[in-house]
């Protein structure tokens, strides 16, 4: 068990997974609570140009304590391996978005901005029995961030020591690891950072893996909000439920996808142990 403590005296106890150790120590915590609906310091309807060049972003939602632990581990590791890149955590539905102690702990471990975001409800597109993907479309809120370049990361990712994820900002947007059941082993054939070849797209059920995604949000706040609002309307009208709803949606919504190689989004399954 590890205790994280910031200068404000807020503590969070974490039981780390066997493959991760959280460094100890104090980190200065600066509170910034923001909402994508009414950003702090921006009047409704005003134009806001991108204020950050590049940022890492992730989404925290739900009430499970392991999600908060994942967020703390990811935030600390990003702050260590790429300290010069902005780190923004989107806080969706769940108790941690409203918990002051959790908010302070998250910023103490490395998240510089917390944005409280409304959900994009799409339970009708989620084919899982438990409905675990019903709120996953909230990831699309990263397109509203006031940043020129965004690297969206799933909470359960663990950047390895000595590896700087900011290298992926050199890959043009949109980009993600290619996924298709028809071509399960083709990722090694696609050049990292290059457009996904047509032979892997045409007549094939495919999608980008949304665990690591490169996006370039639109320049003005008005255009960013309009884009996401249009996507919300589009999502509400769709009817086909899948096991990877947001990924198949991204494949259909955006064109010009580039490939992020397997080493940047490696998934460990029990049968591969």
For 29-55, how does the pLDDT look when each residue is reduced to its tens digit (9 = 90+)?
333 334 443 333 333 444 455 578 999
How many C-beta atoms surround the C-beta of residue 25 within 10 A? 8
pLDDT at 48: 53
Strands, E assignment, 112-217: 113-116, 147-153, 175-179, 207-215
For residues 227-237, give the mean pLDDT: 96
3-state secondary structure of 175: strand
Q: Which two tokens stand for residue 15?
A: 């039981």
pLDDT at 51: 75
Strands, E assignment, the chain: 2-5, 11-14, 33-35, 52-60, 86-91, 113-116, 147-153, 175-179, 207-215, 258-259
For residues 218-228, give the mean pLDDT: 94
What DSSP character marks residue 40? T
Q: Is the pLDDT of residue 237 over 70?
A: yes
Decide if 16 contacts 28 (C-beta within 8 A): no
Q: Is the pLDDT of residue 83 over 80?
A: yes
Per the model's pLDDT, the better-predicted residue between 133 and 59 turns out to be: 59
Per the model's pLDDT, the better-predicted residue between 250 and 270 turns out to be: 250
pLDDT at 2: 38
Percent of the chain with pLDDT over 90: 63
pLDDT band at 79 (very low <50, low <70, confident <90, very high): very high
pLDDT at 135: 85
Q: Is the pLDDT of residue 18 over 80?
A: no
pLDDT band at 211 (very low <50, low <70, confident <90, very high): very high
Give CA–CA dist 123/121, Å, rounded: 6
Give CA–CA dist 38/17, Å, rounded: 37
pLDDT band at 195 (very low <50, low <70, confident <90, very high): very high
For residues 90-113, give the mean pLDDT: 92
For residues 9-17, give the mean pLDDT: 36
**Phi/psi at 239 (5° precision):** -130, -15
Find the radius of gyration of the CA atoms of the chain: 18
Decide if 32 contacts 115 (C-beta within 8 A): no
Residue given tokens 């003005």 in the structure block? 220
pLDDT at 108: 94
Decide if 153 contacts 136 (C-beta within 8 A): no
Q: Is the pLDDT of residue 270 over 70?
A: no
CA 188 from chain centre, in angstroms, equals: 24
Per the model's pLDDT, the better-predicted residue between 133 and 155 turns out to be: 155
**Which range among 64-68, 77-81, 179-183 shows the weakest confidence by mean pLDDT?**
179-183
């Amino acid at each position: 068990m590890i205790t994280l403590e910031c200068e404000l005296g807020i503590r969070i106890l974490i039981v780390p997974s066997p493959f991760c150790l959280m460094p100890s120590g104090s980190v200065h915590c600066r509170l910034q609570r923001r909402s994508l609906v009414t950003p702090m310091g921006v009047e409704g309807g005003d134009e806001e140009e991108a204020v950050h060049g590049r940022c890492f972003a992730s989404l925290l939602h739900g009430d499970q304590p392991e999600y908060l632990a994942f967020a703390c581990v990811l935030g600390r590791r990003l702050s260590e391996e790429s300290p010069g890149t902005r780190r923004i955590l989107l806080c969706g539905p769940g108790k941690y978005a409203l918990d002051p102690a959790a908010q302070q702990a998250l910023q103490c471990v490395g998240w510089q901005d917390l944005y409280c975001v409304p959900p994009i409800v799409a339970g009708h597109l989620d084919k899982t029995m438990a409905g675990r993907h019903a709120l996953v479309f909230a990831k699309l809120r990263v397109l509203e961030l006031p940043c020129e370049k965004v690297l969206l990361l799933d909470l359960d990712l663990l950047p390895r020591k000595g590896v700087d994820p900011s290298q992926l900002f050199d890959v043009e947007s949109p980009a993600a690891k290619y996924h298709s059941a028809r071509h399960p082993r083709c990722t090694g054939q696609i050049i990292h950072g290059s457009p996904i070849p047509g032979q892997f797209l045409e007549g094939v059920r495919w999608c980008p893996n949304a665990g690591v995604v490169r996006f370039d949000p639109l320049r003005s706040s008005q255009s960013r909000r309009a884009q996401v609002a249009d996507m919300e309307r589009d999502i509400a009208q769709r009817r086909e439920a899948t096991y990877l709803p947001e990924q198949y949606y991204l494949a259909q919504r955006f064109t010009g996808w580039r490939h992020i190689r397997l080493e940047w989004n490696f998934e460990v399954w029990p049968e591969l142990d």
